[in-house]
Amino acid sequence: MLNCDTYLMPDSLDGALTALSKAPPGSRIVAGATDTLPWARQGRAGDVAGDVHVPTVIDISRVSEMSGFSVDPDGRVRIGANVVFQQFLEDDLLIEQLPGMPSCALWFADDQIRRQATLVGNMANASPAADGAPPMIALNATVEMARLDNEAISRRSLPLSEFITGPGKTVLGEGEIITAITCDSAKGYGGAFEKVGHRRSLVISVVCAFCCVKPSTDGATFDDIRLALGGIGPVPVRLEDVEDFLKGKPISAAIIEQAAAMPVHRVASRTRQEYRRDVVQGFVSRAIRDALADTGIKIEEEIEKGAA
């Protein structure tokens, strides 16, 4: 059973930080709260008996400055801590700025959970299988945090690659709240997300892959590409070596297959390594092809058959 003494819903960042500074040890920040019950049931709360008591729950879903998103002139997208996965399926501007995220959102849980679960919460949980992590890592995401310092709000930012340090582990400090995550805009790119797990409904990733690709103007070569994987080790992995290999190369089935074989050795999960290696190669290949198809470039069938 999960229970709490006090449930607070502040409507400002200052109010949320003040509540957190006064809350007893063991209190919990929530936004969508979709992971709270699994957190308690699965023993992540540290109570082996199964009964979990949280002194104070601070619900930040009413904090207006953590809601919504914006696009900066320098091409960065700022996503507030209360932005839920469903918005990546419904908001035309988000879809335009972050291709590939609609597919990620579609694979994320089910309709009800998508309308509650936040992207920032997915990052805060730091699960090796977090669906939102590969897209954000690939798009150079930065985590914005805030805390009270002598009653004034103090802020800091860190790259997501430094924020997540291991399974369920982040550098979020005592008294800190994640306010937003920012990432590169991928407007004009094609995007794709691939995922496999133990079941189709409410699937938890065994492996997931994200790709954004920008072909050259004539569609002949890779102008830019972003690739990342989740579920193959303790933290999400950016495939910068594969990106570097592909940039400037001609777009062809043969080149894609060479690239797809490169990250296989990076599988470092504790279980099902051989299976994950097979999946990684297939997913990287398919993610690149699907992202290219999103730009209107389809690899010729006869070339694919020859490469196979």
Over the stretch 266-292, which tens digit does the pLDDT of each residue have?
887 666 777 788 889 999 999 999 999
The region of weakest confidence among 55-69, 86-100, 101-115, 144-158 is 101-115
Residue with tokens 């062809």: 252
The answer to whether the beta carbons of residues 176 and 157 sit under 8 Å apart is: no
Q: Work out the percent of the chain whose per-residue pLDDT is above 70.
A: 89
**pLDDT-derived band at 308, boundaries 50, 70, 90:** very low
- The CA distance from 276 to 258, in Å, is 18
| pTM (whole model) above 0.85 | yes
The per-residue pLDDT for range 171-214, each reduced to its tens digit, is: 999 999 999 999 999 999 999 999 885 444 444 457 899 999 99
The three-point CA angle 266-264-267 to 5° equals 40
pLDDT in tens, 222-243: 999 999 999 888 999 999 999 9
* Interatomic CA distance for residues 145 and 163, integer angstroms: 10
State the residue for tokens 């008591």: 53
Instruction: Give 276 or 168, the one with higher predicted confidence.
Output: 168
pLDDT band at 46 (very low <50, low <70, confident <90, very high): low
The secondary element (H helix, E strand) that includes residue 24 is: none
pLDDT value at residue 98:
98
Compute the distance between CA of residue 144 and CA of residue 12 in angstroms, rounded to an integer. 16
pLDDT score for 198: 43
Amino acid identity at 242: V
Cβ atoms within 10 Å, residue 2: 16
Q: What does the mean pLDDT of the chain come to?
A: 89
Q: What tens digit of pLDDT does each residue of 70-123 get?
A: 999 999 999 999 999 999 999 999 999 999 999 999 988 788 889 999 999 999
Among the residue ranges 36-50, 92-106, 239-253, the one predicted with the least confidence is 36-50
Whether the per-residue pLDDT at 307 is higher than 50: the answer is no
Please report which confidence band the pLDDT of residue 40 belongs to, taking 50, 70 and 90 as the band edges.
low
Q: Compute the distance between CA of residue 17 and CA of residue 1 in angstroms, rounded to an integer.
A: 27
